[in-house]
Amino acid sequence: MKKDLPENIVEDIAIAVALEKESVESKLWYVYVINLKNEPIENVLITSKGYGEKNGEQVKTSILRHMIPRIEPGGFALIEPIDEQTFGLANEYWLSYYIGKDIFDKKFIFLPESIVESNFIRLPQLNKPGVMIR
């Protein structure tokens, strides 16, 4: 039963949207997973999707799946590029990973219009401007 499963709480893991490059014509954005732990995480599986309303109609993006074998302590890994046109949608990243034989998972959601300059911080490990959810 569900009540018999251990409650593995995800801590010290973040998903970040970073501004990689900016020119007069466009901006280039990437999504990263950041391991803020003092131990590696392994068999990292991430699913990403966008959903919401645009111009009065419901919109859904494709579901993408990403596998990262290992992220070292204090390390990070690129998940995917992200298009600015999806910033008006909810952008969801469902993360699962192992530490030893224990599995952890958590859903990270960037709400519509949350990826804006007023929310920018200097992202740890990446040293780039962007938005991060822990």
Fold of the CATH domain 2-133: Immunoglobulin-like (2.60.40)
Is residue 2 over pLDDT 70?
no
pLDDT of residue 121: 96
The residue-averaged pLDDT of 73-83 equals 97
Q: What is the pLDDT of residues 12-31, one digit of tens each?
A: 999 999 999 988 888 999 99
Q: Which of 40, 99, 44, 95 is nearest to 67 (CA)?
A: 44
CB 42 within 8 A of CB 99: yes
CB 47 within 8 A of CB 74: no
Torsion on CA atoms 77, 116, 89, 97, rounded to nearest 10: 20
The residue-averaged pLDDT of 53-70 equals 95
Is residue 1 over pLDDT 60?
no
Q: How confident is the model at residue 124 (pLDDT cuts 50, 70, 90)?
A: very high
pLDDT of residue 3: 67
CB 121 within 8 A of CB 133: no
